[in-house]
Structure 1
Amino acid sequence: MAEMTANPTDIGKHYDERAPIGDEFRGGQLHMWYWYDRDDDAPLPEAVHRVTRKVTDVLGLRTGEHVLDAGCGSGEASLFLARRHGVRVTGVTVSDYELDTARRRAATAGLTDMADFRYGDYMRLPFEDGTFDAVLALESLQNAPDLPTVLGELFRVLRPGGRIAFSDFSLENPGGEPERVERFMTTLKLPALPTLHEWLEHVRAAGFEVEEYTSCGPRVFGMKGKYLQAAMARREEVAGKFGEADIAEFSRLHRGFFAPRKDQIGYVVVCARRPR
């Protein structure tokens, strides 16, 4: 399988192109959804928010802690943490659209004193050692051009005893029709697609102690048909806001995302701790 690398500017442009319409469909968040089964009638934004809760709950956040949202998207997850847990959140992104939107949402919510958003590359974080109590990374590590470097940076900026929680895609079934997975990786600009075991090995190699992990691909990528159904139900409404040409381009950009079979793409949630 061919490897692909992308610099922060490329990744920022990638999300600038996709985030506005993706935000509209998913209620302000860009990451994946979680449906229990085909009969689950949760709206798409609620299904997406389930992933936010699933990943952030394992952090065990306490009021007053300082959290780094590494690859913060348009800020909804950060604002959720500030409201629900009373924590301070610093979000970093390489997308200009996401940064502007996150700052605007924080101001509208009256949370600028608790949620600060900055343009920043997690390969070279502008923070002192041990700055944060916890790190959140919702589907952002997968775009790292050098995963060991990024995990090393996140380890560095965490205090001893600090926690990291992330969710990302994984390679679930490496055999058969690898070209489908390759189209998926190219579409999402993934330099690599680790298995669950490989994700855990990367985390441990960076010095973290893995405390919890789960693989829930069938309820995430396995429900891509429900996403398409939900998106099509709102297509005309969203086209009225953005224009038919933009919707058509958004669909074209995402075509490769749907190429893999349901059993080929997994989804992992991992929580680990920097040793005390």
Structure 2
Amino acid sequence: MDAQHEIQVESDAVEIKTCCATAYQSDIARLLLGDSFHPGGLKLTEHLGTLLHLGPQQRVLDVAAGQGRSAIALAQRFGCQVLGIEYGTEAVKKATETATEVGVTHLVTFQQGDAERLPVSDGTFDAVICECAFCTFPDKATAASEFLRVLKPGGQVGLSDLTRTGDVPAALQGLLAWIACIADAQPVSSYTRYLTEAGLTVDLIEGHDEALREMVQQIRGKLLVAELLIGLKKLDLPGSLDFEQAKALAKAAATAIQMSKFGYVVIIASKMN
């Protein structure tokens, strides 16, 4: 790979990360996705915490923490200490404000950072969670290696993400689809390969396709409300988002999900003692 190509690859990766962060910090994302930006909502987050056997005194790293709802929910439910790492600075600010409002700052903190260069020391966390975000990381192998690096021996990764069977349809490709976690959704076997090649052992795989179907149907309904608010100029769109493309993407995604081309999975993997 020549130097010019390396610069272009890095530039593309930064664009993807920045556009994802901007979109998920926006008002329209909060309207369409609610408090929890992933299928299954906080109920599935708490299920993930149960699978990881979280409890008081444990340290958890939430990678791509968004506006902090999952990190806060885990701290409230299990009494664990959670550090949320998020690429978007506005999301970090909002997450910190929410933690203060609900009184969990003694358990939960948030920090700006990159999943591919986690700003934490080696071997310092009992668990790492990453919900509906791994598929958006440009360098998934590096992110998986970072999960391993920051875990204590015997620590676990709890990953939930969009999956696909076969190729991604042309209508579901491009930057907007990447932001929506669709364009680079992986087969289950690819997620497990990233984890195992990083040095982790996959312990459990659970399918949660119904949670994805429900979320997409909810989004399609909320798009009607969003269109009305945009027409009334009560809702602003991030610069990278074309609303007509977003509606077409949601329709194409719903069709693909009904045809079982996409699903949702929870994977638990562990680091050797």
Q: Shorter-chain TM-score: what band?
A: 0.7 to 0.9
Q: Deviations over 1:84-108 (max 9, x none)?
A: 1111111111112211110110111
TM-score for both structures, normalised by structure 1? 0.81
Alignment equivalent of 1:29, drawn from 27, 36, 45? 36
Unaligned runs of 5+ in 2: 1-8
The amino acid across from 1:274 in the alignment is: K
* Deviations 1:187-221, CA, capped at 9 Å, x for gaps: 53767332111211221111111111112224414
Identity %: 23
Distance 1:238 1:275, change over 3 A: farther
The equivalent residue for 2:142 is 149
Separation of aligned partners in 1, 2:43 and 2:228 = 24
Asked if 1:243 corresponds to 2:234, the answer is yes
Task: Give the superposition deviation at 1:28.
Answer: 1.9
Render the CA deviation track for 1:21-62: whole Å, top value 9, x for unaligned: 222444322222x4xxxxxxxxxxxxx223322333311102
SS at match of 1:259: helix
Select which of 162, 180, 192 maps to 2:184: 192
Assess if the C-alpha contact under 8 Å between 1:93 and 1:120 holds in 2.
yes
Aligned to 1:270: 267
In 1, Cα distance between equivalents of 2:147 and 2:166: 29
- State which of 60, 65, 68 in structure 2 corresponds to 1:72: 65
Render the CA deviation track for 1:100-128: whole Å, top value 9, x for unaligned: 11011011112112111000012112222
1:92 aligns with 2:98: no
- One-letter amino acid matched to 1:243: K
- 1:50 equivalent to 2:43? Answer yes
**Partner-residue secondary structure (3-state), 1:136:** strand
Q: Which sits farther off after the overlay, 157-166 or 207-216?
A: 207-216
Partner secondary structure for residue 105 of structure 2: coil
Is the alpha carbon distance of 1:232 and 1:129 closer, same or farther for their aligned partners in structure 2, counting shifts above 3 Å?
A: closer
- Quote the residue 1:17 is aligned against: 23
Rounded to whole Å, the distance in 1 between the matches of 2:127 and 2:30 is 25
Q: Compared with structure 1, are the counterparts of its residues 253 and 105 closer, same or farther at alpha carbon in structure 2 (3 Å cutoff)?
A: farther
Query: Residue 254 of structure 1: CA displacement?
Result: 2.8
Q: Return 5+ residue gaps in structure 1 as ranges.
A: 35-47
Change (3 A) 1:270 1:134: same
CA contact (8 A) 1:134 1:162 kept: yes
**Amino acid of the structure 2 residue aligned with 1:151:** A
The whole-number CA distance in structure 1 between the counterparts of 2:179 and 2:251 is: 10
2:199 corresponds to: 207
Q: Does the 8 Å contact 2:226/2:235 carry over to 1?
A: no
**What is the Cα deviation at residue 10 of structure 1?**
4.0
What's the offset of the Cα at 1:141? 1.1
| Matched-pair contact (CA < 8 Å) for 2:46–2:73 | no
Find the residue that maps to 1:220 and give its secondary structure: helix
Q: Report the 3-state secondary structure (helix = DSSP H, G, I; strand = E; otherwise coil) of the residue aligned with 2:186.
A: coil
Q: Which amino acid aligns with 1:209?
A: T
Aligned to 1:44: none
> How has the CA–CA distance of structure 1 residues 233 and 17 changed in structure 2, closer, same or farther, with 3 Å as cutoff?
closer
User: What is the CA-CA distance between 1:167 and the residue it aligns to?
Assistant: 0.8
Under a length normalisation based on structure 2, what TM-score does the superposition of the two structures give? 0.81
Deviation at 1:268, TM superposition (A): 1.3
Letter in 1 for 2:204: E
Alignment of 1:134-145 (within 5 A): 134-145=127-138
Q: Is the 8 A contact 1:188 1:257 kept in 2?
A: no
The alpha-carbon distance between structure 1 residues 17 and 181, as it changes in their structure 2 partners (threshold 3 A), is: closer
Q: Write the distance in 1 (CA, Å) between the matches of 2:70 and 2:36.
A: 7
SS in 1 for 2:85: strand
Greater alpha carbon shift after TM alignment, 181-190 vs 10-19: 181-190
User: In angstroms, what is the RMSD of aligned CA positions?
Assistant: 3.0
Question: How big is the shift at 1:224?
Answer: 2.2
Cα gap change, 1:25 to 1:257, in 2 (>3 Å): closer
Amino acid at match of 1:23: R
Q: Does the alignment pair 1:117 with 2:110?
A: yes
Amino acid across the alignment from 2:59: H
Contact persistence 1:134–1:163 (CA under 8 A): yes
Distance 1:110 1:172 in 2: 43
Asked if the contact 1:187/1:253 (under 8 Å) is kept, the reply is no
